[in-house]
Amino acid sequence: MTHRSRPAGLYSLLLLFAVASLASAQDSAAQTTTVSANRMTPIVKAVEATKRSTVNIHSEKRARTADVLFSAGRDKKINGMGTGIIVDERGYIVTNYHVVRDVELLRVTLFDGTAFEARIVSYDSREDLAIIKVDSKEPLPVMPFGTSSDLMLGEDVLAIGNAFGYEHTVTRGIISSLSRDVEVDEEQSYHNLIQIDAAINPGNSGGPLLNGDGEVVGINVAIRAGAQRIGFAIPIDDARLIIARLLNIERLNNHFHGLETIDHKQGRIRKLIVREAEPGSPAEAAGLLPGDVVIKAAGREIVDAADLERVLLGRPTGSQVDLQVSRGDETQTLTLKIANLSADRATPATRSLAGTIPSPPTAAGKKPVDSDKVWRLLGVRTSRVTADDVSLSGHPYRGGMRILEVRPDSPAASNGLQSGDVLVGLHVWETVTPENVTYVLDHPQIATFNPLKFYILRDSETLYGHFDIGTAAAALSSK
């Protein structure tokens, strides 16, 4: 057998070619991974830090067509688009409610192209925010959240969104104004919005507004039709309060902790302060006191109520969670035991507190009920409802105060209270009589109750919320 030989020069040539190719590949890789400091700007860094926590949302709904002659009454498909922000590694995403309203199908796409079907978990239509969820086998990257408490006019901001379906579009602008109130139509209005000139378009709704540090300071929500570069975003501090309510374990797990808190945010000073531990609740049993600052829960840093609800969400009844709290100059570790809402909690509005709330005045010379104070502070006029009233049938309430009128631009109006609602509780006390209501409003510590929790009965359903009585309460308590 013979072998054909190759010239030695050919081997040398091939070797030189291979070495040159390897060197070229290495140079190309170096150029790809090494970027000059001039190009790696704060904007690039901010986008890099947040792009994987921003998701694209595509929806499908059906709209009934009016053209019954040609459509034979068949439904028409409508495709929608929006943006979302990952708020929890388990797949919880916040977006605008109008992005997911009435949809039949939701699809979420991550930056790397991974797609999931999503479902709506909870929403607040008035505040136009919703939580949706995807089921991912791997933990998802959570968006870094900042604060809207120290925003400055003219400050650079970035918007990321699914603009006109062009996924992960990045636009840049400045903060044009703060505290804008915007009325969209008779059903939807917004308060305290951030106005920006970063270009946002249909599909940007629900996406992040970022500061120069790559932190979310707002959730893009609306544009001004027919205008150039006038957009609006919900301040993130406002949004985080709503997110906490939408992730609340009472709402999603039928569990409760009985902890009422205050999100304190002033620039870099951000902390969660205990306002109250509900009597008879796990929070009271854990030893939490008003003024405590929750630093950690289950070893995770806590900045606001949304952080705390995330830690508690999904844990079974009876789970014990260590809370690290700051009390004065000391740091303590307390154990919070999650309880079942229906079995272990009595609704505060139904508690009998005879002896705590004064009896209705009957003798001459007693201070009369100040209905004007109720009108000025809460924005409602009421009349008494007794326990045998048909509207209380099937409920344990001993009575209540039916709302007859709601003053526009009042705390009651901003919370959606309506004529016909029955006020059955304020703070931790029932409101069976007008005297019960004024007892709360005359309380020497009324300013510390803000926001003032309320309970109403509407169409056989008990609802609750919080009156922001703020400056008015402080002014009244000083009189």
pLDDT at 453 over 70: yes
Q: How far apart are CA 220 and CA 174, in angstroms?
A: 14
Between residues 264 and 69, which one has the greater pLDDT?
Answer: 264
Q: Determine the Cα–Cα distance for residues 479 and 471; give it in Å rounded to an integer.
A: 13
Lookup: tokens for 177: 């104004």
Work out the mean pLDDT of the chain and round it to a whole number. Answer: 81
The phi, psi pair for 255, rounded to 5°, reads -115, 170
Q: Which of the four pLDDT bands, split at 50, 70 and 90, describes residue 321?
A: very high
Q: Phi first, then psi: give them for residue 289, nearest 5 degrees.
A: -125, 150
Instruction: Choose between 33 and 420: higher pLDDT.
Output: 420
Supply the pLDDT for residue 118: 92
Q: Which domains does the chain have, with CATH numbers?
A: 49-133 (2.40.10.10), 156-239 (2.40.10.10), 259-344 (2.30.42.10), 349-359+368-477 (2.30.42.10)
Q: How far is CA 372 from CA 368, 379, 407, 437, in A?
A: 11, 9, 12, 12
Which of 62 and 226 is assigned the larger pLDDT?
62
More confident residue, 367 or 246: 246
Cβ-based burial of 287 (10 A; exposed 0-12, middle 13-18, buried ≥19):
middle
pTM: 0.66
How far apart (Å, rounded) are the C-alpha atoms in residues 91 and 307? 15
For 2-13, the pLDDT digits (tens) are 444 444 454 444
Map residue 164 onto helix, strand or coil. Answer: coil
The pair phi, psi for residue 26, each rounded to 5°, is -65, -40
- Compute CA distances 71 → 66, 75, 76, 80, whole Å: 9, 8, 9, 21
Separation between Cα atoms, residue 270 and residue 265, nearest integer Å: 4
The DSSP secondary structure of 370-411, one letter per residue, reads -HHHHHHHT-EEEEEEETTSGGGTTS--SEEEEEEEE-TTSH
Q: Which residues are catalytic?
A: 98, 128, 205
Per-residue model confidence (pLDDT) at position 54? 94
Instruction: Give percent above pLDDT 90 in the chain.
Output: 41
How many other CB atoms are found less than 10 A from the CB of residue 300? 12
Residue 347 pLDDT class (50, 70, 90 cuts): very low
Helix axes 305-312, 236-246, angle to 10 degrees: 30
Residue 242 buriedness (CB in 10 A; 0-12 / 13-18 / 19+): buried
Q: Three-state DSSP class for 307?
A: helix
What token pair was written down for 127?
């505040």
Q: Residue 30: pLDDT above 50?
A: no
The model's pLDDT over 457-472, given as tens digits with 9 standing for 90+, comes to 888 778 888 888 775 5
pLDDT at 209 over 90: yes
pLDDT at 10: 46
Encoding tokens for residue 306?
């949304």
Nearest to 311 by CA among 387, 255, 383, 364: 255
Chain segment 155-193, per-residue pLDDT in tens: 999 999 888 888 888 999 999 999 888 877 666 778 899
What digits encode the pLDDT tens for the residues 75-119?
566 788 889 999 999 999 999 998 988 888 899 999 999 999 999
Q: What is the pLDDT of residues 254-297, one digit of tens each?
A: 888 999 999 999 888 999 999 889 888 899 999 999 999 999 99
